[in-house]
Amino acid sequence: MALPQTIKNTATAAVIFGVPEDQTSYMILQSYDVRRNGTFADVRDETGKMVLRTNYDKDMTVTVTGVLDSGKTSSVPEVGDTATFAGDLFSSDDKFIVESVQVTGSNTDHLKLTVTLHWFTGIDSPSTT
């Protein structure tokens, strides 16, 4: 299959097209969403104006959606499993906890799998025991 051809102005910065290859071992990845979150504590003065904000915890949620690879159904993670995900914005050795697994079927489309993964900055080796 030929790679997509891009026509652009030479002054335009390079951009990434599509989803990088093989970021999961159990589906043909079609899209993903990365959300970095923080937990904050705020201090307000006597008039209610915010004067201080402290971010005391960080976490990240990744939702991946793809076409289920029928030859790899045994490797689909279960809720509570520890998983890794190799993305462009974060290290592939980050350990995620699987929060949800959803399968969507239709008579007009391929079987789709959506997995939501959650990472916490203070947990380097999540355990479900």
Mean pLDDT of 25-49: 90
């004067």: which residue's tokens? 51
Report the side by side order of strands in the sheet with 82-83.
27-44, 50-68, 112-120, 96-104, 82-83
- pLDDT of 18 over the 80 cut: no
- Could you report the per-residue pLDDT of 79-104, keeping only the tens digit for each? 988 887 766 555 555 678 899 999 89
CB atoms within 10 A of CB 77: 17
- pLDDT of 41 over the 90 cut: yes
- Pick from 56-60, 104-108, 114-118: least confident: 56-60
- Could you report the per-residue pLDDT of 64-82, keeping only the tens digit for each? 999 987 787 777 889 988 8
**pTM reported for the whole predicted model:** 0.73
Instruction: Check if the beta carbon of residue 46 is closer than 8 Å to that of residue 33.
Output: no
Residue 52: per-residue pLDDT: 96
